C-alpha cells in the first residue's frame, strides 16, 4: 500500500516531477533524457521514480518492457504543500510574517506590486 503523499519534494524529486508535469507521461529513459544539466544517472532516476511512487506522487503502467510513469500530484498542489511547509517551519504558521519577509526582501516590479494590491483589496472586501 502506498505511503501518504510526501509534503515536500526533494530537489531530485522536484526535477523529475517537473518533467512529468510537462510531458504528463514518461519512461525513466525519457525522464533522464529530458533533464537539464547536471545530469542524473539512469539508475538514480529509476530509484527516485520508485521513491516518488512509494510516496504516492506518481504511478506507473507497464509499456512493453518499460514502465511509463504519470504524476498523481499536480504542480499547484505540490507548490501549496511546500509553501505550507515553509510557513510552518520558518514562520510559525504566520502568513503575515511570510508576506512581510517576501515583500521586504524580494524586489518586485511595479506590475506585480499592483497585482498584490488588487488581491489584497479583493480579500479585504471578502471576495476571492
Q: What is the largest CA-CA distance in the chain?
A: 57
Mean pLDDT for the chain overall: 92
Distance of CA 76 to the CA centre of its chain: 7
Residue 2: pLDDT band with limits 50, 70, 90: low
For the cut 90, the answer to whether the pLDDT of residue 127 exceeds it is no
The topology (CATH level 3) of 1-93 is Arc Repressor Mutant, subunit A (1.10.10)
* Percent of the chain whose predicted confidence (pLDDT) is above 90: 81
Residue 126: pLDDT band with limits 50, 70, 90: confident
Residue 5: pLDDT band with limits 50, 70, 90: low
19-61, pLDDT tens digit by residue?
Answer: 999 999 999 999 999 999 989 999 999 999 999 999 999 999 9
Short-list 41, 45, 44, 10, CA closest to 26: 45
Question: Is the Cβ–Cβ distance between 119 and 125 less than 8 Å?
Answer: no
Q: What is the pLDDT of residue 128?
A: 64
Domain boundaries, the chain: 1-93, 95-128
Amino acid at each position: 500500500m502506498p505511503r501518504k503523499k510526501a509534503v515536500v519534494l526533494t530537489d531530485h524529486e522536484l526535477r523529475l516531477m517537473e518533467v512529468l508535469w510537462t510531458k504528463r507521461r514518461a519512461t525513466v529513459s525519457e525522464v533522464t533524457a529530458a533533464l537539464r544539466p547536471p545530469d542524473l544517472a539512469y539508475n538514480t532516476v529509476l530509484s527516485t521514480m520508485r521513491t516518488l511512487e512509494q510516496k504516492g506522487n506518481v504511478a506507473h503502467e507497464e509499456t512493453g518492457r518499460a514502465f511509463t510513469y504519470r504524476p498523481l500530484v499536480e504542480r499547484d498542489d505540490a507548490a501549496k504543500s511546500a509553501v505550507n511547509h515553509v510557513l510552518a517551519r520558518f514562520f510559525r504558521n504566520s502568513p503575515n510574517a511570510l508576506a512581510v519577509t517576501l515583500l521586504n526582501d524580494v524586489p518586485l516590479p511595479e506590475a506585480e506590486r499592483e497585482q498584490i494590491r488588487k488581491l489584497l483589496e479583493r480579500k479585504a472586501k471578502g471576495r476571492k
